[in-house]
């Protein structure tokens, strides 16, 4: 079968377990795609270690390394353009994607967020903060949302949501673990669906 080799550009800031799940889906041939590169805003991150180990091209682009915001944005944009991605996948990327890039790649930038948006989404809602609030508020259901990225944090059209039950004995840590395990299936699945639609 002559499946198209779509180019996925990943943005990650942290441990990179979703990036790893996406990469493994490509390697196993479950996605008709390859990871063209990783962009990381930090000099140290689990995602970067994995990219180095697997020899995946990676670009470390900390905004603070640039003289100005506009120099940073110009550089980031030129790197993204050179990678010519079919999809840009945010996987735990904590910086906001500059508006110029959102405009240029409209409909091609996807994010995964560890709550059932619009709940627990928006500026400042990330990682353990989300899971702590979910437990504190006595929610019975949480989960993860895959959505298109627009110019507002966690606000773009929802593509898919997947739920997990919050059990009375759950802690923020156990909830985070359950949600991540689910995300590692959800994200590749949704990306696969999007790519298969593109090829029709
Ligand atoms: C994930 O839970 C994702 O929903 C959120 O950030 C987390 C990233 O985790 N946007 P990892 O770096 O992929 O392990």
DSSP string for residues in 176-194: HHHHHHHHHHHHHHHHHHH
Q: Which of 23, 59, 113, 131 is an active site residue?
A: 113
Return the pLDDT at 184.
98
CB 121 near ligand 1, within 6 Å: no
Strands of 158-165's sheet in order across: 58-60, 33-40, 6-11, 87-90, 109-113, 141-148, 158-165
Number of Cβ within 10 Å of residue 28's Cβ equals 9
Return the pLDDT at 199.
61
Output DSSP code: residue 44.
S
- Secondary structure of residue 33 in the 3-state scheme: strand
Q: How far is the CA of 9 from the centre of ligand 1 (A)?
A: 16
Q: Please report the atom of ligand 1 found closest to the CA of residue 14.
A: 12
pLDDT tens across the length of the chain (200 residues): 345 699 999 999 999 999 999 999 999 999 999 999 999 999 999 999 999 999 999 999 999 999 999 999 999 999 999 999 999 999 999 999 999 999 999 999 999 999 999 999 999 999 999 999 999 999 999 999 999 999 999 999 999 999 999 999 999 999 999 999 999 999 999 999 999 987 64
Largest CA distance in the chain: 50
- At 188, give phi and psi (nearest 5°): -60, -35
Q: Please report the atom of ligand 1 found closest to the CA of residue 90.
A: 10
In the annotation, is 23 catalytic?
no
Q: How far is the CA of 1 from the centre of ligand 1 (A)?
A: 33
Q: Please report the atom of ligand 1 found closest to the CA of residue 179.
A: 2
Return the pLDDT at 198.
75
For the chain, helix, strand, coil in percent to 5 are 40, 20, 40
């Amino acid at each position: 079968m002559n499946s198209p080799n779509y180019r996925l550009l990943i943005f990650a800031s942290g441990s990179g377990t979703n990036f790893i799940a996406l990469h493994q889906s490509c390697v196993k041939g479950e996605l008709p795609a390859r990871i063209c590169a990783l962009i990381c805003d930090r000099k140290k991150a689990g995602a970067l270690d994995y990219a180095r180990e697997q020899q995946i091209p990676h670009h470390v682009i900390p905004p603070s390394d640039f003289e100005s915001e506009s120099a940073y944005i110009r550089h980031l944009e030129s790197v993204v353009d050179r990678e010519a991605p079919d999809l840009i996948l945010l996987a735990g990327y904590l910086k906001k994607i500059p508006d110029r890039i959102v405009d240029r790649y409209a409909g091609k930038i996807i994010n995964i967020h560890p709550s059932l948006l619009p709940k627990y989404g928006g500026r400042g809602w990330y990682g353990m903060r989300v899971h702590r609030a979910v437990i504190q508020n006595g929610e019975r259901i949480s989960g993860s949302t895959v959505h298109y990225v627009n110019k507002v944090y966690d606000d773009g059209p929802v593509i898919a949501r997947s739920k997990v039950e919050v059990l009375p004995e759950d802690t923020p840590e156990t909830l985070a673990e359950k949600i991540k395990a689910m995300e590692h299936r959800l994200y590749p699945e949704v990306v696969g669906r999007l790519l298969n639609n593109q090829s029709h």
